[in-house]
């Protein structure tokens, strides 16, 4: 009884065999089929190698969602050089909650020379070159994301020459923690002093002749600093033509979660609109001269993930390539053979030519004048 059952299942399995069976006498090799096989193998090899590179490659996937994290603090990293002496300028942040962030908390004022050394100038040109390319080609941003951490720091290198002249500028650098609401970071004349309704800058003692808000942004970023990432304003240099000049930057910060194979970090990208104007109260252009950076935080958060083709997908695609090319070349070869057969049989060419049949010859003779007649019309 058991034996019978086993035989039955064996027969069933045998019936399920879907591979084509060809009697051995049908299997014969030919030179044309051999050539086609070699071609097929070559194509398979090339495509497999290419597919392997696709498998090795990674790409960036962008996803958007609403940022629900409002409790955490926002870190601002600053490195700005202003063409004024340190004792004349003050930097601080005022946010919408009107809580003043003390400028002394995290910022360092360092007297420097405004003009860059030749080597620093070269570095700045390179950075500006990258910035220009970034605006044209968005895909470059992906490359920068991928190479974050790996590449060297984008900070300005120190001067290679010793200080020959007394410092005429002030480098303000460091970081601040602010509330995650819109705010205004600014550098103006005089140190900030707290005031019951906001704050004021003590500017009365500074002569207007010393005002010069020419500045250079070597680094401005939000969130944890990541070496290798080039931020929108890095490398910007603005020269003031007038003593009383106001520079405004309207910044929209986009929280960005970066998840690459190298790093996983919560950072921020930002977009900037710039404006500058000369303050002249006589002609109605009111305001305070200085550098103002108004920032606002986008409620949309971007998650940038580095993705990779899974291994099973690579295998499936390989099977597709190999099987597909085998059957396609087989079919093409079959069609080609069929066409050659038809052409040879119909016009009796090559090996099929049989000159002993007169009727066929007459046939072809009739065809030629007919064709000529047609062409003369
Ligand atoms: C401000 O300083 C820069 C750099 O030293 C200079 O090129 C510019 O002419 C100065 N502007 C004014 C109004 O003095």
User: Please, are residues 346 and 363 in contact by the beta-carbon 8 Å criterion?
Assistant: no
Neighbours of 360 (CB within 10 A): 14
Label residue 156 by pLDDT band (50, 70, 90): confident
Cross-strand pairs, 245: 278
Question: What per-residue string of b and e applies to 327-358 under the rule 16 or more CB within 10 Å gives b?
Answer: eebeeebeeeeeeeeeeeeeebeeeeeeeeee
**Averaged pLDDT of the chain:** 80
Average pLDDT over residues 88-104: 72
Q: How close is the Cα of 215 to the center of ligand 1, in Å?
A: 10
Cross-strand pairs, 192: 201
For the cut 80, the answer to whether the pLDDT of residue 18 exceeds it is: no
Q: How far is CA 57 from CA 14, 217, 299, 315, in A?
A: 43, 35, 32, 15
Q: How close is the Cα of 283 to the center of ligand 1, in Å?
A: 23
What is the DSSP pairing of strand 245-259 with strand 300-308? Answer: parallel
- Summarised one tens digit per residue, pLDDT across range 180-234 is 888 888 888 877 666 666 666 776 667 778 888 999 998 899 988 887 788 888 8
Q: Is the CB of 116 under 6 A from ligand 1?
A: no
Ligand 1 atom nearest to 240, measured from its CA: 11
Q: How close is the Cα of 207 to the center of ligand 1, in Å?
A: 15
Question: What per-residue string of b and e applies to 9-26 under the rule 16 or more CB within 10 Å gives b?
Answer: eeeeeeeeeeeeeeeeee
Label residue 134 by pLDDT band (50, 70, 90): confident
Q: What is the pLDDT of residue 373?
A: 44
Distance CA 185, CA 367 (A): 92
- Summarised one tens digit per residue, pLDDT across range 245-270 is 899 999 999 898 888 887 888 888 88
Among the residue ranges 125-129, 311-315, 361-365, the one predicted with the least confidence is: 361-365
Q: Is the CB of 81 under 6 A from ligand 1?
A: no
Q: Is the CB of 243 under 6 A from ligand 1?
A: yes
Q: What is the pLDDT of residue 49?
A: 94
Cross-strand pairs, 267: 223, 256
Q: How close is the Cα of 121 to the center of ligand 1, in Å?
A: 17
- Summarised one tens digit per residue, pLDDT across range 175-189 is 888 888 888 888 888
Q: Is the CB of 213 under 6 A from ligand 1?
A: no
Q: How close is the Cα of 136 to the center of ligand 1, in Å?
A: 31
User: Please, are residues 219 and 270 in contact by the beta-carbon 8 Å criterion?
Assistant: no
- Sorted by sequence, the CB contacts under 8 Å of residue 70 that are 6+ apart come out as 180
pTM assigned to the model: 0.70
For the cut 70, the answer to whether the pLDDT of residue 363 exceeds it is: no
Q: How far is CA 49 from CA 43, 44, 314, 317, in A?
A: 10, 9, 12, 12
Ligand 1 atom nearest to 83, measured from its CA: 2
């Amino acid at each position: 009884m058991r034996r019978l059952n086993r035989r039955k299942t064996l027969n069933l399995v045998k019936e399920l065999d879907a591979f084509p069976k060809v009697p051995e006498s049908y299997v014969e090799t030919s030179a044309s089929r051999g050539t086609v096989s070699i071609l097929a193998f070559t194509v398979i090899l090339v495509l497999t190698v290419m597919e392997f590179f696709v498998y090795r490659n990674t790409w960036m996937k962008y996803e958007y969602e609403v940022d629900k994290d409002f409790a955490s603090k926002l870190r601002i990293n600053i490195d700005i050089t202003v063409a004024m002496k340190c004792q004349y300028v003050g930097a601080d942040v005022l946010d919408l909650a009107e809580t003043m962030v003390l400028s002394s908390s995290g910022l360092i004022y360092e007297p420097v020379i405004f003009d860059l050394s030749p080597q620093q100038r070269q570095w700045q040109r390179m950075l500006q070159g990258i910035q220009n390319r970034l605006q044209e080609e968005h895909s470059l941003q992906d490359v920068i994301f991928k190479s974050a951490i790996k590449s060297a720091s984008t900070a300005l290198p120190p001067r290679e020459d010793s200080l020959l002249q007394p410092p005429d500028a002030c480098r303000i650098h460091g970081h601040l923690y602010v509330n995650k609401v819109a705010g205004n970071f600014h550098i103006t004349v005089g140190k900030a002093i707290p005031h019951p309704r906001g704050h004021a800058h003590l500017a009365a003692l500074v002569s207007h002749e010393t005002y010069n808000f020419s500045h250079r942004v070597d680094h401005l970023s939000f969130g944890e600093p990541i070496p290798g990432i080039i931020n929108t304003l890095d490398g910007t240099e603005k020269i003031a033509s007038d003593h009383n000049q106001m520079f405004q930057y309207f910044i929209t910060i986009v929280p960005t979660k970066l998840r690459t194979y190298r790093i996983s970090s919560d950072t921020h990208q930002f977009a900037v609109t710039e404006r500058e104007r000369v303050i002249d109260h006589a002609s109605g252009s009111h305001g305070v001269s200085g550098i103002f950076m108004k920032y606002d935080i986008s409620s949309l958060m971007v998650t940038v993930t580095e993705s990779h083709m899974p291994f099973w997908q690579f295998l499936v695609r390989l099977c597709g390539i190999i099987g597909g090319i085998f059957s396609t070349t087989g079919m093409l070869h079959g069609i080609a053979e069929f066409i050659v057969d038809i052409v040879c049989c119909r016009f009796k060419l090559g090996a099929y030519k049989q000159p002993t049949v007169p009727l066929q010859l007459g046939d072809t003779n009739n065809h030629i004048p007919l064709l000529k007649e047609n062409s003369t019309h």
